[in-house]
Chain A
Amino acid sequence: MTVEASTREAYGRTLIELGKQNKDIIVLDADLSLSTMTHFFAQEFPERFFDCGLEEQNMIGIAAGLAASGKTVFATSFAVFASCRCFDQLRMCISQPKLNVKMVATHGGISVGEDGTSHHAIEDLSLYCSLPSFTVIVPADAIETTEAVKAAAATYGPFYIRLSRPKTPLIYRKGHHFTVGKSITMKQGKDITIIAMGIMVAKALEAAKMLADQGIGCRVINMHTLNPLDEEAIIKAASETKAIVVAEEHLAHGGLGSRVAQIVAREKPVPMSFVNLKDRYSLSGKPGELLQRAGLTAEGIEEAVKQVIQKK
């Protein structure tokens, strides 16, 4: 049976741990701390937590000012508001001056569910990856979230970490070794490579299992860091397996698929296919239903693998 855990709760708990170690860690939120789980930190360190109210643009400026004064700032909201709502502020106040602000956003993707299109952050990775200074990470589970948040705190510079609303399957155990910018090969295979991030990693592993039963050997890579991208692993996968499927909970353009394709096109062109939200908004509905409708499932990946493998 699959064990599930909440990435946002992992974030909230990790913040407490970091707050104990470093008195210069400051946390900002925009009236969502009960949902984003920054309220754990707020309870433990009330003097180092600032609720900026419904002022996301102002929050980014405040975060930048604190960072310019030597603080390590975690600023949190839902992924839609932490990207689209304050993009110019991210660009001007954090990315261009390369300040030490960690944007950690919960409620990424369509797995937000019933709140519907307005709350589905499916453009965020494209936006953040377009900002040159940002390290962009989408952890694959709650354990990787903890490691990513710790790594962000320990590394100077702007970070974006995208988390989910629902609990997601645990694919790692405690002690999981995580390095920013270094992808993790979850499973070896010689026929094709599936590159995935976030909730799609578990689905890629499931697809690989189904495909193995049909005699197709899949390499599965958890590309948790979108920027900087692990180019070496991509080139190796293209050279050795000669076909690639990229799976992500994001629109077709500007996310992981686009970024991997750019490397493959430049270094080692091979047939590729993409499992993503294409160019479409989703709907209200249960997370599972929405993912099913959009084809962001193990079966969706399986189908993409079968199609692209014929082009080899």
Chain B
Amino acid sequence: MSNNIKVASQDTRGTNVFDFSVPELTEMTKKLRRHIITMISTAGSGHPGGSLSAVDIITALYFKIMHHDPHNPRWKDRDRFILSKGHAAPALYAVLAESGYFPVEELTTLRKLDSRLQGHTDRNLTPGVEMSAGSLGQGLSFGIGIALAAKLDHHDYQTYVLLSDGECEEGQTWEAALSAAHFKLDNLNAIIDRNQLQLSGWTQNIMDIEPLNKKWQAFGWHTIEIDGHNFDQILTAFEEAKATKGRPTVIIAHTTKGKGVSFMENNVEFHGKAPTLEEAKRALKELE
């Protein structure tokens, strides 16, 4: 575990959680963005754009919001984070490594033969990974199962599911939206990484999903819209989500694909393309 990690006192579930301040979170995401660039450029393939747009949200969850224990990844009272957009695996791996689930040095084994860090997440291989994902639109359903189990067992853990905006084109996402509200799962929280870009272009041109907020509201969800790179807004939204009773909450997080690296920002080319070594060098310089 890194030395700069501040550990809070015991929470209600009797274990330590990370309790980063906003400046600490900001500092951490710089480091995580550097990991993402290094990992993907070393691997020679991967999805930098959607990893960089999502990493602030994942960081806020693991270093401030969620109750979890890197030394006991399957602790039964942990809050659960489901990465439905499995191609953003590098962002999750970087967070898991920095929070102590496995050594940071392991990050550069991404996508290599026999690595625990698969191209898309694998719950049986990587400590801390909850769901095997990669085929889009399935994470919210998985999250419903976990949230139902929490209700059945009278556990008060929260379940967080991070979806891409492209996943809002998948029919199953809306099946899940319908049923989560039907089951009144107020312990289920969805976050949409609304970076407006998918593999082939702008979501608006490929398959328009707007009005997104109204759609989720119509499906019975409490909705919150935020700037997905602003930690104050991210943290406030998670507090509001947790306090919402009787229905699930969706946080529509407006983000920038490739955030933090000038030539990757809003550049669809970097949806699923690794930076060259020269590009990686430039990116790392920007992220110093």
Q: Which residues of A contact B (CB under 8 A)?
A: 26, 47-48, 50, 52-53, 55, 57-71, 88-89, 91-93, 96-98
Contacts and interface: CB of A to CB of B under 8 A. Distances in A.
Contacts of A88: 135
Given A26-B152, A65-B148, A67-B145, A92 B175 contact: no
Contacts of A55: 172, 175-176, 178-179
A61 B152 contact: no
- The 7 lowest CB-CB distance pairs between A and B, nearest first, are A65-B145, A61-B141, A69-B149, A58-B175, A55-B175, A66-B145, A62-B145
A68 B172 CA distance: 19
A182 to B, nearest CB: 27
A71 B149 contact: yes
B27 to A, nearest CB: 33
Interface string B174-200: 011011001100000000000000000
A55 B141 CA distance: 10
A204 B130 CA distance: 47
B172 A57 contact: yes
Interface of B: 76, 122-124, 130-135, 138-150, 152-153, 171-172, 175-176, 178-179, 182-183
Contact of A98 (B124, B134, B148, B152): B124
A50 to B, nearest CB: 7
Contacts of B134: 92
A59 B148 CA distance: 12
A89 B133 CA distance: 10
B94 to A, nearest CB: 22
Contacts of B138: 57, 61, 89, 92-93
Given A66-B145, A71-B149, A89-B138, A61 B132 contact: no
A57 B152 contact: no
Nearest to A28: B145
Contacts of A71: 149, 152
A68 B130 contact: yes
A64 B144 CA distance: 10
Given A92-B133, A97-B123, A61 B142 contact: yes
Contacts of B76: 70
Q: Do most interface residues of chain B lie in helix, strand or loop, or is the interface mixed?
A: helix
A50 B148 contact: yes
Contact of B142 (A65, A91, A96, A98): A65
Given A60-B141, A66-B146, 16 more contacts: A50-B183, A55-B175, A57-B171, A58-B144, A61-B172, A62-B141, A64-B142, A65-B141, A69-B146, A69-B153, A71-B152, A88-B135, A92-B138, A96-B122, A96-B132, A97-B122
B132 A93 contact: yes
B131 A68 contact: yes
Nearest to B151: A47
Nearest to B144: A62
A58 B149 CA distance: 16
Contacts of B123: 68, 97
Contacts of B152: 26, 47-48, 71
A66 B149 contact: yes
A89 B172 CA distance: 10
Given A66-B145, A66-B146, A97 B179 contact: no
Contacts of A48: 152
Contacts of B149: 65-66, 69-71
5 contacts: A55-B175, A68-B130, A89-B138, A92-B132, A92-B133
Given A60-B141, A93-B138, A65 B171 contact: no
Nearest to B176: A58
Contacts of B139: 61
Contacts of A52: 179
B187 to A, nearest CB: 12
Nearest to A56: B175
Nearest to B129: A97
Nearest to B146: A65
Nearest to A67: B145
A70 to B, nearest CB: 7
Given A63-B145, A89-B172, A53 B132 contact: no
A29 to B, nearest CB: 13
Given A47-B152, A68-B131, A93-B138, A58 B146 contact: no
A57 B146 contact: no
Of B133, B141, B175, chain A has the most CB atoms within 10 Å of the CB of: B141
Contacts of B153: 69
